[in-house]
Amino acid sequence: MHVGSATERPLADPVLASIDARMGFDWLWFLSITNNKLIAPVLIFAYHALGPQVPLVLLLNIATNRNDKILEFVALLAVSSVLAGATMALVPAEGAYAYFKPTAEQFNHFTVQAGMWHYETLMALRSGEPFDLVMAKSNGLVTFPSFHTALGIMVVYALRDYRWLSWPLGGLNAIMVISTLPEGGHHLIDVFAGALVGVASIFAVRMIGAYERVHVDGAARIGSETARLR
């Protein structure tokens, strides 16, 4: 993601905001109706609850000895990262907070740095100046597409065999997708693009898995026929 951010391509926020407007979506209006003491805390919780879900998927599958599901989830993360990284390099964006510049009062019920955690790092990478990558201090850099949205979809898919967990997390992550707008600082079109990345990653991994199964089954049949002929 850091490599994808290190580009001199013009920021695409004016175009992204224009697409939102053509869809009838007003980001500042949406921020205003969610910025209250009842809705904002729910959205904040949902947004930041996504992070722990990644190790949860891995630990649950380790505990149940589902190595196939572990490999599948790792493959989903890899494919989605490549797709998101390539897309953000082609369509760099700073995010809705940086673009619309709301006053502190307009988002005072959200976190202080809502949607702006990445900004300093993004600008440093775009400047071309030497940059020290400290993983412990790194923040998500992807604006377009929304990687939160993609990851939320993939987590629920990865837990599909554990319905007692996938259904509640599906509801939570649906709220999380909404929270990517006021808390994550995404444009609405970012969310649609993120959903596309998530679905495309699932499709790609399923196709790869099906291809491998066909070849493994074919090799097994050939081996069995050879053994019988002997």
Query: Containing H/E element for 130?
Result: none
Q: What's the rounded Cα separation, in Å, for the pair 164 and 185?
A: 31
Across 49-63, 85-99, 110-124, least confident range? 110-124
Bond prior to 145 in cis (omega within 30° of 0)? yes
Question: For residue 47, what pLDDT is reported?
Answer: 97
Contact assessment for residue 84 and residue 150, using Cβ atoms and an 8 Å cutoff: yes
pLDDT recorded at residue 9 = 79
* Residue 179 pLDDT > 80: yes
- The phi and psi torsions of 198 (rounded to 5 degrees) equal -60, -50
* Number of domains into which the chain is organized: 1
DSSP letter string, 107-125: GTTS-TTTTTTTHHHHHHH
| CB of 76 closer than 8 Å to CB of 201 | yes
Q: Which helix (H) or strand (E) holds 209?
A: helix 188-229
- Averaged pLDDT, 85-98: 93
Distance in angstroms (rounded) separating the CA atoms of residues 104 and 85: 31
Encoding tokens for residue 47?
Answer: 């947004």
Query: In Å, how far are 47, 79, 88, 226 from 179, measured between CA atoms?
Result: 6, 24, 20, 58
The whole model's pTM is what?
0.85
Provide the 10 A C-beta neighbour count for residue 217. 10
* Helical axes 67-90 vs 147-158, angle rounded to 10°: 160
Q: Which domain holds residue 104?
A: 2-229
Query: Lowest mean pLDDT: which of 16-25, 58-67, 120-129, 164-173?
Result: 120-129
Assign 3-class secondary structure to 39-94: HHHHHHHHHHCCCCHHHHHHHHHHHCCCHHHHHHHHHHHHHHHHHHHHHHHHCCCC
Q: What is the mean pLDDT of the chain?
A: 88
Whether the predicted pLDDT of 222 surpasses 60: no
